[in-house]
Amino acid sequence: MSVLTAKTGQAIPETSLGRKLKDRTVLIAVYVAFALAVIPLVSVLYKVISEGVQVISADFLTRSMNGIGGRDAGGGVYHSIVGTLEQVALASAMSIPIAVLTAVYLVEYGQGKRLAKTISFFVDVMTGIPSIVAGLFVLAFWILVLGFEVSGFAGALALGVLMIPTVVRSAEEMLKLVPNELREASYALGVPRWRTVMKVVLPTAFTGIVTGIMLAVARVMGETAPLLLTIWVTKVINFNAFQGAQSSLPTYIWEQASDPNQVAVARAWGAALTLIFIIMVLNIGARLLARRTSIR
Amino acid sequence: MTSIDDVQTAAVGVSRRRRAISTGRRGDKIFRGAALGSGVFVLVIMGAIAAFLVWKAIPALQANQGSFLTDTEWRANSDPPRFGIAQLAFGTVMSAFLALLMATPVAIGIALFISFYAPRKLADGLGFIVDLLAAVPSIIYGLWGLHFLVMNSDGVVSFLNTYLGWIPLFAGENVGGQSLFIGSVVLAIMILPIISSISREVFLQVPTPHIEAAQALGATRWETIRLSVLPYGRSGVISAMMLGLGRALGETVAIALVLSTVAGINWHILEPGGNTFAANIVRTFGESGEIGRSALIASGLVLFVITMIVNMAARAIVSRRKEFTE
Amino acid sequence: MKNGIRLAAIGGALLTGALALSACGSDDNSGNGNGTAAAPEGNCVEATVNAAGSSAQKNAVDEWIKNYTANCAGAVLNYNPSGSGAGIEAFNGKQAAFAGSDSVMKPEEAEAAKTRCAGNPALHLPMVVGPVAIAYNLDGVEGLQLSPETLANIFANKIKKWNDPAIAADNPGVTLPDTNITTVHRADESGTTDNFTKYLAAVVPDIWTFETGKVWTAPGGQGGTKSDGVTTLVKQSKGSIGYVEMSYAENASLSTVKVKNGAGEYTELTADSASKVVAGAQVVGTGNDLALKIDFAAKTPGAYPIVLVTYEIACEKGLTGKEGEFVKSFLTYTASEAGQEALKGLGYAPLPPEIISKVRTSIDAISAA
């Protein structure tokens, strides 16, 4: 891109006025587009940060809502942070390997096969799954049919179902971008296919896959509806994701934001800021990691 | 893509002739099995969900006294239940389409700005911020929409109504408040970072020789973009748009918070009203009985079909473009 | 897959780091409480129990949990305010030990509840009176008075201006502005809509010809999602009027309408005036089941007519073990003097004595067997 900025306009002096004018117009349009987009985006961040900062304190981050009555101030989000981190970690641990392997199958093994087409089709269909439906499915299958109780793990199952299609889609796109020459070169050296995939294809696409995973993680971290059905609601800290009701940040925000109490609405903003902060930390972490390990 | 297979068959053929057992064969089998197994597992889950939805949707469809496709009212909990998806389908498609219309040019503008116009140092930071914004959960956009945008948008809305009121969409008497237009704006803001971060990735992959060739011909910056960047990136941008559209179609919480519900289909998008599949599901789920729930699941199925059509269209466009450019 | 392992390692490190950073997390909020928790009556049952249902009574339940656990530290009640329908579903699906509901169960739901309670009937126990406020936003007009007829005409979009003669007739001596009326209703299904439309249909059936129920069916107006959506809309748009639970109107400091009751008085909404109309309610449940039918046109003096009664739905028999004991013990507290008194500061009204005494008898009959 530096090539472009450095050379334009200098190399050929006889650029006509009309073309120059067009160039300027586009330049202005691009700047305007940028400004237009920045206003609402910054406004979102500003609102969350300015409202959230007023609430966030050491107490807010380290306390649960236990013993906070209808109109009481105080309380915190600790139980929800614990819940969200555990649920999302479990969901990721379950769905990412499956999703990435599926993408590998689709791109490396399944080309043109009917099974691959069917899988691809269903993955596409399921990207449009309304999140509450995933919750309903887990409720009906895991809790009602198999008879398990509500738990953080049940929520993680629902989130995992939501993550799979997004991760498969993005990983598939990224694997497709890996140039065939790389694979061919590897085969030519006598490297078996699976090692080619592990050592050449996946590392090449790694950055892109991580970006896709982060987007998926961020998306499920903000999911509310499926969790309400599967993890229940609780005000106390529960470290055990496999037993008993757990809280989570999005359900906490949803609940507090619709409370008539102004203190509760303030807590919702505080929790929103906490959630964004966690997502950002994960994102930055993933990005640094991707940058360090990417092959360029 | 056939070339890998060719190479592979060739390679396998060679190894078969030379050595009966290659060190990689076993690993290959296991790995292939794992990949295939995962694929099949995904298929099973997805199939199970689809089957579950159809199974759960049937009772409501049988009990429905109205026309599922053309009724505009949703009274699935009345006795007898009477509901139709017309209003939901209208609101969903309209808001997602408007959002895409608003977001795409701006998103491409941002992507171009970051990739080609902004100073290098600034560009990295900006790209990062846009990516982060793609990760902001939708419930936060919803809160912002309800508590900020709805309250501060009356000026813009009445401006559109006064000066562009001759366009039927912007007409109406009682404009303002929680309208389909505001819902679309929130959706547009949500999908903007998604479209622009993917478009940016695509633009960055434009081979430098393409760009240099255009410049060597004396093209201005815009002409370079138009001649070499946009054609190369077109399929990527289209798939980014489709991804955004998919998210807009399925968006739940943000739209449920921002839209107000008034019965019937209203083409005047500045007036309060509108409803979407996903918003309707979260709004009515809590107070639904057996049939109501089943009806909501049936509406979820329709949302599937719509998303599916959008995705298939996107795939078709992308693959056609590929054939064209390569 | 080295990268994958590294990713997992870093992810794990981030996670444990985040947890460790805040490992000092605590459930102890006693320093923050306002110390008004009165000691609950009855015994303490230490159990972890899930319940679900009406969001209209969420704050009441929160307050009760706080007071109950203040003297019974090992008890945890997780109340999921997912909505009455979802609450009944969760109760019937055995995920909830009891359900909170704004309306009486439908016959098929009651049938499922009977199965859930091992063949015993599930009881409707009235526990909270939730007054429905008619909140409005009109500059310079305090203490607006409306008769049911005018109210119905406004929400039916037949009266469109604030200076309409009908409104003026209800408010002698008040100068009303020439502003358009914007009505605000609930966009989602809710018990509040159900009770408000039932009130209108019962008192002024000639004017309110729309279907009653949890869905708003009258034309026009704006819809807000959940009570806070309605409150926000009323608060931000001049000339608007909407119906919302009293606690929301109070917290947003919205003006509320004095509604004309069956005795012909314009009554202000207070916890006491709302209790009064429930006193005239008729019990339609059989045995220990206390499903109520409210007489919205009751001629009780000083009664505010538009209220919503929310029930706890619990098994009379059939809940076993600690769970059953807890439900009985907790409901005993909520129906007690102290439990009902706790409602007053929260925008709810306590049940009148004639009803609450029946509730206590019914709770006594609950047995965990």
Q: Which residues of C touch B289 (CB under 8 A)?
A: 85, 88-89, 106, 108-109
* A222/B137 CB distance under 8 A: yes
Instruction: Please report the DSSP string for B134-168 in residue order.
Output: HTS-HHHHHHHIIIIIHHH-HHHHHHHHHHSTTSG
Q: How distant, in Å, are the alpha carbons of A143, A221, B90, C82, C109 from that of C90?
A: 11, 25, 33, 10, 11
Most confident of B220-224, C37-41, C304-308: C304-308
- C219–chain B Cβ distance below 8 A for any pair: yes
* B262/C221 CB distance under 8 A: yes
Residue type, C173: G
Spatial separation of the C-alpha atoms in residues A242 and A244, rounded to whole Å: 7
Closest-CA residue of A relative to C343 is A70
- Could you tell me what percent of chain C has a pLDDT over 90? 55
- Could you tell me what percent of chain A has a pLDDT over 70? 93
Which pLDDT value is given to residue B323?
52
Which residues 69-88 of chain C have a CB within 8 Å of chain A?
Answer: 69-70, 76, 78-82, 86
Q: Which residues of B touch A127 (CB under 8 A)?
A: 246, 250, 307, 311
Selection from C121, C122, C115 nearest residue C99 by Cα:
C122
Question: Does residue C168 sit in helix, strand or coil?
Answer: helix
Per-residue pLDDT tens digits for C332-358: 999 999 999 999 888 899 999 999 999
Residue B17, domain member (yes or no):
no
Tokens 């030379």 correspond to what residue? B18
Per-residue pLDDT tens digits for C214-243: 888 888 888 888 888 888 889 888 899 999
The β-bridge partners of C282 are: C293
pLDDT, mean of residues A121-146: 81
How close does chain B come to A72, measured CA to CA in Å? 22
Closest-CA residue of B relative to C238 is B177
Q: How many domains does chain B have?
A: 1
Which residues 216-275 of chain C have a CB within 8 Å of chain A?
Answer: 226-228, 231, 245, 247-248, 250-252
User: In this complex, which of C213, C220, C237 lies closest to B78 when CB atoms are compared?
Assistant: C213
The β-bridge partners of C78 are: C50
Residue C305, domain member (yes or no):
no
Where are the extended beta strands (E) located within chain C?
A: 48-53, 76-80, 98-101, 122-137, 145-146, 182-186, 222-224, 240-245, 255-256, 258-260, 266-267, 282-283, 292-293, 307-315
Q: Is the pLDDT of residue C95 over 80?
A: yes
Mutate to test the interface with B, among C211, C214, C225 (most CBs of B within 10 A): C225
A61-291 CATH fold: MetI-like fold (1.10.3720)
Same domain (yes/no): C37, C81:
yes
Per-residue pLDDT tens digits for A13-38: 566 788 888 888 888 888 888 888 77
Cis-peptide into A130, omega within 30 deg:
no
- C252–chain B Cβ distance below 8 A for any pair: no
Selection from B86, C14, C172, C248 nearest residue A278 by Cα:
C14
Q: Which residues of B touch C212 (CB under 8 A)?
A: none
Which pLDDT value is given to residue C18?
55
Give the angle subtended at the CA of A80 by the CAs of A77 and A83, to the nearest 5°: 155
pLDDT, mean of residues C257-280: 92
Closest-CA residue of C relative to B271 is C222
Closest-CA residue of A relative to B307 is A128
Same domain (yes/no): C123, C24:
yes
Per-residue pLDDT tens digits for C147-181: 999 999 999 999 999 999 999 999 998 999 999 99
For chain A, which chains pass the contact test of at least 3 CB pairs under 8 Å? B, C
Give the pair of three-digit tokens for residue B272.
Answer: 């309060």
Q: Which residues of C touch B273 (CB under 8 A)?
A: 223
Task: Find the CATH number of the domain harbouring B127.
Answer: 1.10.3720.10
Residue B16, domain member (yes or no):
no
* Domain range annotation of chain A: 17-55, 61-291
Q: Is the pLDDT of residue A39 over 70?
A: yes
How close does chain B come to A98, measured CA to CA in Å? 5
Q: Which residues of A touch B310 (CB under 8 A)?
A: 128
Domain membership of residue C33 as a residue range? 10-128+311-364
* A127/B246 CB distance under 8 A: yes
Domain membership of residue B41 as a residue range? 2-6+22-325
Same domain (yes/no): C71, C121:
yes
Where are the extended beta strands (E) located within chain B?
A: 74-75, 82-83
Residue B13, domain member (yes or no):
no
Spatial separation of the C-alpha atoms in residues B237 and B233, rounded to whole Å: 6
Closest-CA residue of C relative to B78 is C213
* A234/C76 CB distance under 8 A: yes
Residue C293, domain member (yes or no):
no
Q: How many domains does chain C have?
A: 2
For the ranges A49-53, A227-231, C96-100, the lowest mean pLDDT is seen at A227-231
Per-residue pLDDT tens digits for A74-123: 889 999 999 999 999 999 999 999 999 999 999 999 888 899 988 988 88
Which pLDDT value is given to residue C131?
94
* C59/A261 CB distance under 8 A: yes
Same domain (yes/no): C43, C98:
yes
For the ranges A31-40, A109-118, A224-233, C122-131, the lowest mean pLDDT is seen at A31-40
- A225–chain B Cβ distance below 8 A for any pair: yes
Q: For the stretch B70-83, what's the b/e string if a residue is b when 16 or more beta carbons lie within 10 angstroms of its beta carbon?
A: ebbbbbbbbeebbb
Rounded to the nearest 10°, the torsion over CA B216, B221, B222, B227 is: 30
User: In this complex, which of B137, B211, B249 lies closest to A250 when CB atoms are compared?
Assistant: B137
How close does chain B come to C314, measured CA to CA in Å? 18
Residue C294, domain member (yes or no):
no
Residue B11, domain member (yes or no):
no
Q: Is the pLDDT of residue C261 over 50?
A: yes
* B139/A272 CB distance under 8 A: yes
Residue C137, domain member (yes or no):
yes
Same domain (yes/no): C145, C91:
no
Residue C301, domain member (yes or no):
no
Same domain (yes/no): C121, C254:
no
For the ranges A222-236, A280-294, B270-284, C218-232, the lowest mean pLDDT is seen at A280-294
Contact C192, C244 (CB under 8 A): yes
Q: How distant, in Å, are the alpha carbons of B173, B178, B270, B316 from that of B168?
A: 12, 19, 10, 33
Question: Does residue C238 sit in helix, strand or coil?
Answer: coil
Same domain (yes/no): C120, C137:
no
Task: Find the CATH number of the domain harbouring C185.
Answer: 3.40.190.10
- C22–chain A Cβ distance below 8 A for any pair: yes
Q: Is the pLDDT of residue A164 over 90?
A: yes
How close does chain A come to B289, measured CA to CA in Å? 14
Same domain (yes/no): C63, C165:
no
Give the pair of three-digit tokens for residue B147.
Answer: 């508590």
Tokens 């706890």 correspond to what residue? C312
- A282–chain C Cβ distance below 8 A for any pair: yes
Q: pLDDT tens digits for chain B (326 residues)?
A: 444 455 455 444 444 444 444 556 788 889 999 999 999 999 999 888 888 888 888 988 888 888 888 888 888 877 788 888 888 899 898 999 999 999 999 998 888 888 888 887 888 788 777 777 777 878 888 888 877 887 788 778 878 888 887 887 787 776 777 788 889 999 999 888 888 887 887 787 777 888 888 888 888 888 888 888 888 788 778 878 887 887 888 887 788 888 877 767 778 888 777 888 888 888 888 788 778 888 888 888 888 788 878 777 777 776 765 554 44
Q: How many CB atoms lie within 10 A of CB C322?
A: 16
Residue C49, domain member (yes or no):
yes
Crossing angle for the helix pair A152-177 and A114-126, nearest 10 degrees? Answer: 120
